Structure 1
Amino acid sequence: MGGSRDRLRELLDAVLDEENRTLGDMADDAYASPFHFTRQLTRDAGEAPVAMRRRVMLERAAWQLHRGSTVTDAAWAAGYESVDGFSRAFARAFGHPPSNPAASHWLPAPNGIHFHPPMSLWVHAKETTMNPLTEHLVAHDLDETRELLDRAKQVPDEQYRRVVLTDHAVNDWEGPEGSLAQVLRGIVRAKEAWIAAIEGTEFPSNGDDDPVALIARHDEVAPRWLAMVRDVERRGAWNDRFIDALCEPPESFVLSGVIAHVITFDAARRHLARHLLRVAGVDPGDGDPINWARRVRGEEPGQ
C-alpha cells in the first residue's frame, strides 16, 4: 500500500476514533492543523471531516436502532447532546424518524465510504449521489427555514401577525403574505401541499401557524420533502409528470418544475421573513448559503 493511501487511512481513522468529537480532536490525532486536515481529507475523500463523521455516526445509529437500540442510547453514542437534536438530524438525513428505522443504514455519500459494523468502514465502488447543487439548495432551504421559525418564537404574537406588507402576495394563487406569520406559514404550507400532490394523499388542513406549531409541521414534512427529491435524483425522474387531482380541474406538473418552484418561492419568502424579523427587533441571521455550508462542514470563516 502506497504512502498516500496510508495517509488517507490515517485521516479516516482520526475521523472515526470514538474519542475525537471535534475537528480539533481529529486533526490532533492525525498530527495536522485543523485547516490542513480538512483540506487534505476533503481533497482525497471528497467530504469534509466533520460532515463525514456526522454522516457515518448517523449510519451507525441507524444500524444500532435496527438491532434494537433505544433512540436515547443511539443519540448519545452518536455524540448528540439531546434526543430532540438527534431526531431532527436523523429524520432530515434518512427521510423518516429514528423511531421507525429502515433495514438499510447507508446514506448518500460522495465517496462510497460508509459505516460497517461493528466500527469500521465499507467503501462502495459504485456510489450514486444527488447532484451537489441540488442537495445544497434543498438542504439549505430546509435548515434555514427551521432557523427562521425558531427565531420567530422571540416575536410577540401581536407583532408576529401584524400585516406589514399590505397587498403583498408571493404568487397569485396562495393568498396574501404580508405578516411574518403568513410568510412562514407559506414556506411550510407549500411543501405540505406539494408532497400531498406528489404522494397522492389528502390535501393537508391549514393547521396552527404559531411558531411552535409551524416547527412541528416543518419537522414532519422536511424529511419527506428531502427524501422525495433524493428519490427523483436517484431514478433520474426529473422530467416525470404527475397529475394533481387536488387541482380543479386536475392539472399535470413536471417534477423538476415543482422542485424549482418551491426552491424559488421559498427563497423569496425566507428573504421576506428575515426582513420582518429585523423589523420586529430580532436578529434574522444572514441566510447566506456559503456560510451555511461552512457551518455544516465545520469550517471556520474564511476557509
Structure 2
Amino acid sequence: MAADAFVSPFHFTRQFSRATGEPPVALKRRVLLERAVWELSTGKSVTDVAFGAGYDSVEGFSRAFSAAFGHPPSLTPADERRRWLPTSNGIHFHPPMSLWVTNAPNEQVVADPTTLLIRHDIDDTRELLSVAAQLDESQYRCVRFPGLLVESFRGPEESIATVLAHLIESKEVWLAAIDGEDIPTAAGDALPELVKRHERVAVRWLDTIRDLTRRGGWDDTLIDALCEPPQSFVIGSVIAHVLSYSTHRRYLVRHWLRTELSIAGTEIGDGDPIEWLHQRG
C-alpha cells in the first residue's frame, strides 16, 4: 500500500494512523475478523475462515477471534446479523466483499470503561464456572448464607449453585425483554448446564451491546407490558443494573470458592479488570 501511495512504509503508516486513528495492519486485522464472523454465520467452516483471514493456524485464529468477540468461533450464531468491532473511525466490513463507513462514528473503543466491564463480566463468570467444577456436589449446593437476597424478586441466593444460576439468568431475562421474546422458564442449576447457558447468553449479550453502541441506543426506552402495571426502563440503566448485580454475585461466589478451595491450594484471582486486561495482552 505504501508503494502504491509512493511513500515509505514508515510515512504511510504514520499518515494512515493519523487519519484513521488505527494503524493499517490493525485495521486490516479487525476488518478481516468482522468478515470472519459473517462467514461463520453463513455456515463456513472455522478452518476455511481462519486461513481466509490470513492466520497460519486455526488455534491462532481462535485466540484472536475469542479475544475480539468474547466467544470462540464455533459458537457464532447462524444468523447474518452485523457484528462490528469497536473502532473510532467507523470503517467496517460489509458483506459480501465491501466496506461500510459510518457517517458519524458513535462507537466505544476497546478501553472504554463500559466495554471493559461488560467483557470482563463475561470472562470472569466463565472463570468462576470453571473453578466451581472442582467442587463436589455437597460443596456446590451447601447453604452458606441462609435467607440471602441479592434481588428481592429472585428469591434467596444461599449457595454457589443458586448465585451462579441467577448470574446467568439475569442476562437471559433482560435479553428476552429487549428482543421481545417470552420470559424464559426457570432452568436448573446443574453446573454443566450453566456452562452451556453462559456461553449461549454471552454471544447474544455482546451482540446486543455492540448493536446499542453502534446506533447510540443507550438512551432508548423499553416499555415492558408484561409488568403489572407496565414499566419503562432506559436501556442504559438496564445494562448498569445487570453489571452491578453481576459484580456483586461474582465476588460473593469468589469468596465462597476461596473458602472451599484454599486448603487444596487452588489460587483464585481477585477478579480485577486491570489484571484481566493485562492477561489479555
| TM-score of Structure 1 vs Structure 2, range by shorter chain | 0.7 to 0.9
SS state of the match for residue 69, structure 1?
coil
1:287 corresponds to which of 244, 268, 271: 271
2:45 corresponds to which of 67, 70, 88: 70
Q: Call closer, same or farther: CA 1:251–1:133 in 2, change over 3 Å.
A: same
What's the counterpart of residue 107 of structure 1?
A: 85
Q: Call closer, same or farther: CA 1:204–1:86 in 2, change over 3 Å.
A: farther
Q: Establish whether residue 248 from structure 1 lines up as the match of residue 228 from structure 2.
A: yes
Residue 58 of structure 1 and its aligned partner are, at CA, apart by: 2.5
2:178 corresponds to which of 187, 190, 198: 198
SS state of the match for residue 81, structure 1?
helix
What's the counterpart of residue 141 of structure 2?
A: 161
Q: Distance in 1 between matches of 2:29 and 2:135?
A: 32
TM-score by length of 1: 0.71
Q: Distance in 1 between matches of 2:227 and 2:61?
A: 39
Q: Call closer, same or farther: CA 1:188–1:3 in 2, change over 3 Å.
A: same
Unaligned stretches of 5+ in structure 2? Answer: 1-6
Q: Call closer, same or farther: CA 1:190–1:53 in 2, change over 3 Å.
A: farther
- 8 Å CA contact 1:90, 1:96 repeated in 2: no
Residue 87 of structure 1 and its aligned partner are, at CA, apart by: 8.2
Q: Distance in 2 between matches of 1:212 and 1:158?
A: 16
2:188 corresponds to which of 208, 226, 247: 208
SS state of the match for residue 280, structure 1?
helix
Q: Establish whether residue 174 from structure 1 lines up as the match of residue 154 from structure 2.
A: yes
- 8 Å CA contact 2:37, 2:73 repeated in 1: no
What's the counterpart of residue 5 of structure 1?
A: 11
Q: Call closer, same or farther: CA 1:128–1:163 in 2, change over 3 Å.
A: same
Residue 89 of structure 1 and its aligned partner are, at CA, apart by: 6.0
Task: Count the aligned residue pairs.
Answer: 266
Matched to 2:249, the amino acid is R
Post-superposition CA distance 1:183-227 (Å, at most 9, x none): 111110110111111222111122121222111111111121222
Residue 160 of structure 1 and its aligned partner are, at CA, apart by: 0.6
- 8 Å CA contact 2:36, 2:49 repeated in 1: yes
TM-score by length of 2: 0.75
What's the counterpart of residue 244 of structure 2?
A: 264
